[in-house]
Chains A and B, each alone.
Chain A
Amino acid sequence: MPEPEPNLDVVAAEAISAARCELDAHVHKIVQWHFHPATGCPFWLQYAKEVLNFDPLREINTYDDLKKFPPFEDELLRGGPVRRWVPKGYENSPIFVFETGGTTGVPKSRIVIDDFRIDYELFSKTLPDEYFPPGSNWLMLGPSGPRRLRLAVEHLCQFRGGICFCIDLDPRWVIKLIKKGWMDHLEEYKKHCIDQAITILGAGHDIRCLFATPKLLEALALGLEEQGSSIAEAGITGIFSGGTEFTPQWTRFATEELLGGSPSEGGIYMTPTYGNTLMGLACSRPVRAEDGYKIAYYAPQPRAVLEVVDFDESDRIVAYGETGRVRLTTLTKEFFVPGFLERDEGEREPPYEKYPWDGVSGVRPFRKLTDATTVGVY
């Protein structure tokens, strides 16, 4: 059953305060872990010695203390040795490496042990069973290769008792096609991906749930329509999507014209998410037509914190409703990233009942970087 509608306006001050206390305690615990020689990773131990002019073990006790760190540059994630990011406390664990970028040059990489499982298990609790039936099979219509998303969606499906089907999709090739201006090839590659999806959906695997990016969901819907079918007729009832292209207007278009209306009308529930390899997955407040399909994301605090900060003063959080750059702090035992300025901007959103901490809405590529960024490629 879908969850009852939360009260979006009233959030008890105690809930906000309790969440903040939990965050402060979590920060202390995570910093102790990452900067203690017995458990920390080589990168942060060396960084504390050579770059920081304070002792994190003694001076970082609350979230606000993290401001003492200089902003994290994700260029640090480029190149090896990758083991420098593995906390000593996990040195004998099986390690995954997930990559971002890499169309040209060395990709940025992040090590993971269980974070993607934890993040997606938390996310799983937000999915209504009516539309994401436990035990049902999934289709992952997104990037393959060394990406977190592919394994994470597969784990989400398995965690919910299903089996996940995937397609082959190389986003680095897609970006190359766009940069080369080979738009015909791009269209053909998209068709190739959609053909794979339609074939799997029509192969009798009883697939009910889907991960797809907005562009691929559009293409799938149009591809099915061409064959006289639809997403609903293909048996899909639950869709999990995400990215900066998941805008209110796109949600309205998809809901009204691709999915047959609201979940109660069209029988399909679609939920937006905002995430990346560093953060995990930020969930959205319920998206409703009566709110203008506004999409507001909340990080999985205390494991990650999203803030909206001034474009020029990255330590100044903007007022509610104001626009700023998204700043991300990752706080898990596997990975610590203080104050990373994302390539996105948005508006600061107040806490709400289910997530009593700040959120961000209207997420879109940071305007000063848009020329250099290729978004929505798969």
Chain B
Amino acid sequence: MLKLPIIRWGKPYESLESREIRHFISGETIAQISQAGAGLLKRDLRKATAAREALRSIPCAELIQKVQQAATLFRDGTLPMGDGTQTPAEFARAQSATTGLPEHMCRSNMEKNYYVLRHMDRLLDALTRGLDLNILSHGYGTEERGVTVSYQAQSPVLGLVLPSNSPGVHTLWLPVIPLQIGLVLKPGSLEPWTPYRMMSAFVEAGIPSEAFSIYPGEGADIGSAVVSDCNRCMIFGGEPTIEQYQGNPKVQVHGPGYSKILLGDDLVDDWEDYLDLMVESVLANSGRSCINASGIWASRHTHDIAEAIAERIGPIEALPPEDEAAQLAAFTNPDMATAIWNTIEADLQESGVEHLTESFGPRLVQHPEHAYLKPTVVHCNSATCSIASKEYMFPFVAVVECPEDKMIASMGRTLVASGLTRASGLQRQLTDATHIDRLNLGPIKTTQLDWLQPHEGNIVDFLYRARALQTTDQANTSLPGEGNKKAETSTS
């Protein structure tokens, strides 16, 4: 058993209060985690500027190199973890044991994190549209085209209230360190592993430990304090969390994705060509991600599509987490699985809704301390069916019959939309739809992300504000080592 301390600007602090997390099958204690109170965090945040200053003392280019070194350390190294160490295999086993995710999916999520860290230079280049990162460090500077630009950090640290269900989300906050912003992490109660390992990898790679704080604790206490006291915060939660923070410029909320595949009338008759894409979009990562498709919309053949997907994923059985063929994650809280299934069963009573995976046996598989929900496919003969707009934390999809000209207006908020169409009219409507965040035009899985593009808002724009800055001393707008390029000024 590992003991994980609170981390206060890089220094471990063992609390008198701790919480044990256990293997979801054997009940074995995997870690004892120190629990922080909000007061501790609030007090530490008084010193948040020191975290940014520690990072600012290292040029961005050097930080990027260190982050790239951290990529290999994260994926392959034996790293400090609380009062012990963890190999990559031990990490995946521990993460699987407490989250219910199969071990090979945990390894796959490590690969995602590795990829983002390894390609940090390209990622930041894409997110900043080629900005010289020294301008962010310095606060202002002159671009090659001779224009003075200024970016102001909106907070010395980014606060994060992280989830337990999907270790893949950590990719979202990895660019923060090379942007010279410190991290205040509230890990998910069952998934402390990635934040601690990531910090270890960063520190081993030479990034100052004082840039990191980790506060495990009760969500209502620590989570609220992170949101209220960090000037910029990223929070993961359900629909109520999204509603609560919508429109709050300090908070970037990530919740259910309601990601969808839309088949245009021009391609829908060839739907079988896209069956693999649809299955993979629903099933990858055990359907836990916000980028998994929970809806497939088309104007015809929807029943056939639903049947075909059901035949592919309906028979999938729960396998032990260490089995390389395991495709389903366990619910470590069996009551949650029961509650979800009860909701689905209630929705299935609605006229126009058909359950296509029923013939493959009961979907809810209950064990004393955990449960599984087996893949579920439903068909809706109308977009108005309640279940057409639902998303769950397992492979679940509603195949919805809807005329093409009503689809975009009816489908609701969508994190990833894959539009299978070559029709320019539909493509334009998809491009213009403001309730779609990430848009894939063509046969691209919803789960296939281009990491060089922003996800639910550009993190650079979230952390830095572009603003006007004028100076009479043109030399001041040049960055160290840069020639004095003349800026054009106007008094108008």
One of B33-41, B75-83, B182-190, B194-202 contacting the partner: B33-41
Contact A183 B228 (CB under 8 A): yes
Contact B244 A248 (CB under 8 A): no
User: Counting CB contacts under 8 A, is A181 at the interface?
Assistant: yes
Contact B42 A222 (CB under 8 A): yes
Contact B35 A249 (CB under 8 A): yes
Tell me how many residues of A have a C-beta within 8 Å of chain B: 21
Q: Smallest Cβ distance from A296 to chain B, in angstroms?
A: 15
Contact B224 A183 (CB under 8 A): yes
Tell me how many residues of B have a C-beta within 8 Å of chain A: 18
Closest residue on chain B to residue A292 by CB atoms: B16
Chain B residues with CB below 8 A from A187, complex form: 228
0 or 1 for each of A185-226: is its CB under 8 Å from B? (1 = yes): 011000000000000000000000000001100100010010
Closest residue on chain B to residue A218 by CB atoms: B39
Contact A249 B42 (CB under 8 A): no
User: Counting CB contacts under 8 A, is A250 at the interface?
Assistant: yes
Say whether, besides A181-B240, A183-B228, A249-B35, A293 and B16 are in contact (CB < 8 Å): yes
User: Counting CB contacts under 8 A, is B125 at the interface?
Assistant: no
User: Counting CB contacts under 8 A, is B482 at the interface?
Assistant: no
User: Counting CB contacts under 8 A, is B46 at the interface?
Assistant: yes
Chain B residues with CB below 8 A from A247, complex form: 16-17, 37
User: Counting CB contacts under 8 A, is B43 at the interface?
Assistant: yes
Chain A residues with CB below 8 A from B243, complex form: 181
Chain A residues with CB below 8 A from B40, complex form: 253, 257
Q: Smallest Cβ distance from A367 to chain B, in angstroms?
A: 13
User: Counting CB contacts under 8 A, is B227 at the interface?
Assistant: yes
Chain B residues with CB below 8 A from A214, complex form: 39
Contact A250 B244 (CB under 8 A): no
Chain B residues with CB below 8 A from A28, complex form: none
Distance in angstroms between the alpha carbons of A214 and B243 in the assembled complex: 30
Distance in angstroms between the alpha carbons of A225 and B47 in the assembled complex: 12
Chain A residues with CB below 8 A from B228, complex form: 183-184, 186-187
0 or 1 for each of B84-126: is its CB under 8 Å from A? (1 = yes): 0000000000000000000000000000000000000000000
User: Counting CB contacts under 8 A, is B384 at the interface?
Assistant: no
0 or 1 for each of A281-293: is its CB under 8 Å from B? (1 = yes): 0000000000011
Distance in angstroms between the alpha carbons of A293 and B244 in the assembled complex: 37
User: Counting CB contacts under 8 A, is B15 at the interface?
Assistant: yes
User: Counting CB contacts under 8 A, is A252 at the interface?
Assistant: yes
Distance in angstroms between the alpha carbons of A186 and B43 in the assembled complex: 18
Say whether, besides A183-B224, A218-B38, A249 and B16 are in contact (CB < 8 Å): yes
Contact of B46 among A184, A186, A225, A258 (CB under 8 A): A225
Contact of A249 among B17, B227, B240 (CB under 8 A): B17
* Residues of A213-242 contacting chain B, CB below 8 A: 214-215, 218, 222, 225
A181, A183, A187, A254: which has the most chain B beta carbons within 10 Å? A183
0 or 1 for each of B341-381: is its CB under 8 Å from A? (1 = yes): 00000000000000000000000000000000000000000
Contact B37 A253 (CB under 8 A): yes
Distance in angstroms between the alpha carbons of A249 and B17 in the assembled complex: 6
Residues on A lying within 8 angstroms of B by beta carbon are 181, 183-184, 186-187, 214-215, 218, 222, 225, 247-250, 252-254, 257-258, 292-293
- With A181-B240, A186-B228, A248-B16 already in contact, 16 other A-B pairs whose C-beta atoms are closer than 8 Å: A181-B243, A183-B227, A183-B228, A187-B228, A218-B38, A222-B43, A247-B16, A247-B37, A249-B15, A249-B16, A249-B17, A250-B37, A252-B16, A254-B39, A257-B43, A293-B16
7 closest Cβ pairs, A-B complex = A218-B39, A249-B16, A249-B17, A181-B244, A248-B16, A187-B228, A249-B15
